[in-house]
Structure 1
């Protein structure tokens, strides 16, 4: 049985993630799990992997991101889809034998605190951090 739960998933602040993106820190991937609500903007360089594709895409995602230092999941608010996606990712890594002793120490997996909703409040109009932003959709 997995040791991972939604309650023990670490969060990353929008400020810390913005710092990583601005510095072009290698080894950090952002996974946006929003579905149709992906329109209106997204974090620069993120991958959109909608929740409804996770059943067949999660093993591929785990293999693709295996060498990353950190993976950050988020949805609109990071209350349900983001955390559950991060949990599914961690459990898939565990199932594939990529996690030692269930600790996940070799790769950090985070949930973006407040999701894209809080992100866009500060960084929505910052073209260095946010792409395809449509302010009217967020007002």
Structure 2
């Protein structure tokens, strides 16, 4: 094989997360959409909020997001863990709920990385968890869920 052929057969680039330490666990804490919906309803009733929703999608940030969530792409999340921790503690947050499209990759990784940080701090007051089935599960579960989305695009979820 000549050098041109060997260059084209080179290994694909490493995934983005390989630049960071592997999560210490492969089992994140989980929360189902019904529980998140109840949390959102309690905010409607009382105005008090002790949780935060974080959408970790980047290039696939389409079709809408859960109202009130913030977008922190997973690719830039690891380097901000300490700052996020300080902000969440100052705000009185008790639950940090991460999600991506399905919450089987980026959402899980972000949740575990943050939980690892909480464990290092011996912080039992704050919990890091993933939204089971991610935004796709949320957006395809009916009107009670989609009415709590910003920029919801029904046609996007019909093809997903």
Tell me, yes or no, whether TM beats 0.5.
yes
Partner of 1:30: 53
The aligned counterpart of 1:14 is: 33
| Residue 123 (structure 1) shift | 4.7
Where does 1:1-139 land on structure 2 (aligned, <5 Å)? 5-7=25-27, 9-24=28-43, 26-66=49-89, 67-95=92-120, 97=121, 99-100=122-123, 105-123=124-142, 126-127=146-147, 129-139=148-158
Structure 1: 5+ residue stretches without partners: none
Cα distance change of structure 1 residues 123 and 35 upon mapping to structure 2, 3 Å threshold: farther
Larger radius of gyration: 2
RMSD between aligned alpha carbons? 2.0
Q: Which deviates more, 40-49 or 85-94?
A: 85-94
The number of residue pairs the alignment matches comes to 129
The two structures have a TM-score, normalised by structure 2, of: 0.73
Residue 4 (structure 1) shift: 5.1
Question: Is the CA contact 2:55–2:69 (under 8 Å) kept in the aligned structure 1?
Answer: yes
Partners in 2 of 1:89 and 1:48 — Cα distance? 15
Tell me the CA shift for residue 30 of structure 1.
Answer: 0.5
**Range with bigger deviation, 52-61 or 14-23:** 52-61
Higher RCO (C-alpha under 8 Å, 6+ residues apart): 1
CA contact (8 A) 2:55 2:70 kept: yes
Is contact 1:4–1:90 with CA below 8 Å preserved after alignment?
Answer: no
Structure 1: 4+ residue segments shifted above 4 A: none
- Are the equivalent residues in 2 in contact too, given 1:77–1:118 (CA < 8 A)? yes
Q: Give 5+ residue unaligned stretches, structure 2.
A: 1-22
Q: What TM-score does the superposition give when structure 1 sets the normalisation length?
A: 0.83
Task: Please state how far the C-alpha of 1:53 moved relative to its aligned partner.
Answer: 0.9
